[in-house]
Amino acid sequence: MKNTTVLTVLSAAGGGLAFLLRLVQKRTGFSPDTGLPIPGDLPARLLLILLVFLCAALFLMVRRLPSRHPDPRPFQDVFSVQGAVTPLVGGITLLVLSGAAQVWSVLSGSPDFSSDGPLPSAVVLISGVLTALSALCLLPAVLSASAGHRSRNRLAAPPTLLLFTPAALVFQLVLDYRTRSANPVPEAYALELLALGFAALAFFHLASFAFGDGSAQVFSFLAGGTVILCAVALADGLGFAADAFYGGCILFFPGLLCSLQPDAGRQRGSVSGEESL
């Protein structure tokens, strides 16, 4: 079994367990009257221990991947997504629906905010449009990579398109932090902000492969962490827009992890070294 496949299984299984623990914590770990965390709550402690363990396990696993950086191979050589098109397109669809839900909440006058305080309608509208458009910008790269080596004879997807997604997520992260930081209970929202931060970094490092500057180790750690943290955030039930976003990341990044071909870069580097000798 490939190391990247083991990483995918670890992230999915760890995310599922973390999701269940977060569900239990939301029911038993906070006072129903004040919303304050209950000291010594067992699910909260177990969730923290699990996240630390998964972080350490991911770090050790990615250390086994080739450390070649930068990776100058074309994007479609780094990610062989022929067998993972369905989860990748499904993830992009959910991300688009997340942005569309934000836009619809403004147009219909029924806000579906993922924050503790209301945001101006114009800000929510801009955030929704950015989320939907940035998700669509992922589609050309996925379709180009799904064609494999045949795509070399076609025009490659513009690398700049992949930068729109992390930019949109940074915008969303700033908005969420501004509205939720007033909450005196950081345990209620800290993991959601962390999930957004990991997702923004993972999409940014995904874009770096299109510019010939990717790192399999860094991307794999961030992608696995994004899956786990998004599973935790999904348990909070913040509304359709937020759930669609977290669900989209949970579908998208495992598909990329399974498709990652880090060994090819190492083998190519070894062959080039032998030829130079």
pLDDT digits (tens), the chain, 277 positions: 577 889 999 999 999 999 999 999 988 888 887 778 888 889 999 999 999 999 999 999 998 887 777 777 888 888 888 878 899 999 999 999 999 999 998 888 765 544 445 677 888 889 999 999 999 999 988 888 887 555 454 556 688 999 999 999 999 999 888 888 788 888 888 999 999 999 999 999 999 988 888 888 999 999 999 999 999 999 988 889 999 999 999 999 999 998 888 754 444 443 333 333 2
* Concatenated DSSP letters of 33-51: TT-PBPTT-HHHHHHHHHH
Burial class (CB in 10 A: 0-12, 13-18, 19+), 57: middle
Residue 112: predicted pLDDT: 54
In contact, 231 and 216? CB cutoff 8 Å: no
Closest CA to 55 of 163, 208, 194, 238: 194
Q: Is the torsion defined by CA of 207, 213, 217, 221 positive or negative?
A: negative
> Which DSSP symbol is given to 66?
-
* Structure tokens that stand for 248 in this block: 């989209």
Residue 148: predicted pLDDT: 59
Residue 123: predicted pLDDT: 87
